[in-house]
Amino acid sequence: MSNTILVAGAGGFIGGHLVKSLLDRGHKVRAVDVKPMELWYQKSDLAENIVANLEEKDACFSAARDCEEIYNLACNMGGMGFIENNRALCMLSVLINTHLLMAARHFGVKKYLYSSSACVYASDKQTDTVVTALKESDAYPAMPEDGYGWEKLFSERMCKHFEEDFGMQVRVVRFHNVYGPDGTWRGGREKAPAALSRKILEAKASGNLEIEVWGDGEQTRSFMYIDDCITGLEKLMQSNYSDPINLGRSELVSINGLIDMISDIAGVTVTRNHNLDAPQGVRGRNSDNALILEKLGWEPEVDLKTGLAKTYAWIEGQMQRDARGETVVS
């Protein structure tokens, strides 16, 4: 073993932050993503950066060679608009986890982390805006979101069976709406905090203070700032806990409430044009953090207002750079 850590999906939002954190802590990192390197959100010359399609078995075996740990963050995903309109593409990500698990077993990788999602939870438990926070056992009986959610739940089971049958050390984390700087903020794959920040910035710049809102705005979610996400990943990997675990903040907010917060940061009041035909997902979703508190003695800490202010400022800077004709990754 070379003590190298593989980050699959390193060109993505969470992957880029994770690579930076691991390098800052003195680890050797192999960073792999399917996107051309100029489209990676963050890229460090201190990492071994590789462009490869990890849906392919040979690419996974090449990437996993000589690695001590693997963080599998690679998948085809985006905001609700992308997930609802690209179910087959989302399900093809099962190839990534399948081939990476096979490679990890072949090379004797010590620890393997799979990034799952709150989309594995049954939709009938998320029909009310005043939702009961979802605990890990609520994933069964299984009825996840079609496409993306089924791929995640199936891949969770595969990780568990590799642990049971082959003695691998696996970790499975269920993300709840991660946001922050250095991520997607336009183009259709962005999530609500980034999309609404961009829309409000555009409205402010144009003087037309009207924005489109998907749905009636009463749907509720929790949102976790990226710094907490990275802390949680590293704590989980260092722990001995191998069953699926929520990684999300338990601060519930409606989409209308999110707009209020961002408008306050922007110093404007916007008019809302509710598009009731747009994708809006489940009615309410929140993270039950009892298990992560029990197993890790910690839960995400950054409050939504603090994280939104940082995210809004970063997106504002990106839009200013874009207006000057500079190259930005979005």
Q: How wide is the angle at C-alpha 261 spanned by C-alphas 77 and 40, nearest 5°? A: 30
Q: How confident is the model at residue 313 (pLDDT cuts 50, 70, 90)?
A: very high
Q: How confident is the model at residue 2 (pLDDT cuts 50, 70, 90)?
A: low
Kindly name the residue from 71, 148, 179, 312 that is annotated as catalytic.
148
pLDDT digit string, tens, across residues 50-66: 999 999 999 999 999 99
291, two tokens: 């298990």
Active site residue 148: yes
The per-residue pLDDT for 80 is: 67
CATH for 4-178+223-247 (3.50.50.60, 3.30.930.10, 3.90.226.10, 3.40.50.720): 3.40.50.720
Q: How confident is the model at residue 32 (pLDDT cuts 50, 70, 90)?
A: very high
pLDDT at 161 over 60: yes
pLDDT digit string, tens, across residues 264-275: 999 999 999 999
Q: How confident is the model at residue 200 (pLDDT cuts 50, 70, 90)?
A: very high
Q: What is the mean pLDDT of residues 75-92?
A: 81
Percent of the chain with pLDDT over 70: 98
Closest CA to 98 of 140, 154, 50, 145: 154
Question: Domain limits of the chain?
Answer: 4-178+223-247, 181-221+251-295+302-323
Q: How confident is the model at residue 11 (pLDDT cuts 50, 70, 90)?
A: very high
The per-residue pLDDT for 1 is: 45
309, two tokens: 């202010």
- Global pTM reads 0.94
pLDDT at 285 over 50: yes
Q: Which residues contact 161 (CB under 8 A, 6 or more apart)?
A: none
Distance CA 276, CA 305 (A): 27
Beta pairing, strands 252-254 & 220-222: antiparallel
Domain 181-221+251-295+302-323 of CATH type 3.90.25.10: yes
